[in-house]
Amino acid sequence: MFFKTKPCPRCLGKGSVDDADIKRLNAELLWLPGMCAYCEGKGVVGVRVNVAPETLYLNMDVPKRERRALRRGNRGALSRAEIYDQRSREFLIHMIQRLEELEGDHQALAQEHIEELKLHMKGKEPKEQDKVAVLEWCQQLSEYAGSKL
C-alpha cells in the first residue's frame, strides 16, 4: 500500500520537536522537547492530516488512539483538544499572574505549587525529581514572563 505523505508541519521533518519548534508553535512552558506527537517521530504525515500543528492536546501524554483520532479529524477528539488547549493557556496566564502577585519570586511560586501537589497526593511528599521539575519550570516561567514585559 502506498500513502501520499507530506513533511510534518510541526517538527518540519525531524521527527522530534526542539526548543525552536516549541517557540515557533507558541507552546513555550507547555511542551517539552522530544518525540513529535504529530507524526509519531516519522517526520512525515498523510496528506489528509490537517489538524493544526500547534494543537497542544496532540502530545505524547495522550493515548495513541486519541492521537490517531485527532489526526483523522474526529470531532469528539477535536472538541476535547479545544477544551484542553484553552485550559492550558488559562493555566499559564494564571501562573504568570500569580508570579506577578509574588513580585516575581519564582521560588515562592514553586513552593506554592509543590504544596498543591501535596494536597492532590493527600499529604504525601512529592518525589524529589518532581519538586526539581516544578522549580525549573517556575524559573523558566519567570524568564518567559520577564521577556514579555
Stretch that binds Zn ion, among 1-9, 59-67, 70-78, 96-104 (CB under 5 A): 1-9
Q: What type of residue is 85?
A: D
C-alpha distances (whole Å) from 41 to each of 36, 52, 85, 112, 148 are 5, 17, 22, 36, 32
Helix, strand or coil, per DSSP, at residue 16: strand
Should residue 36 be labelled a site residue for Zn ion when binding is judged by CB under 5 A? yes
Should residue 25 be labelled a site residue for Zn ion when binding is judged by CB under 5 A? no
Binding Zn ion by CB under 5 A: which of 11, 27, 69, 95? 11
Per the DSSP assignment, residues forming a β-bridge with 17 are 34
Binding Zn ion by CB under 5 A: which of 25, 29, 39, 145? 39
Judge contact between 115 and 80, C-beta under 8 A. no
Should residue 58 be labelled a site residue for Zn ion when binding is judged by CB under 5 A? no
Residues lying near Zn ion in the complex (CB under 5 A): 8, 10-11, 36, 38-39
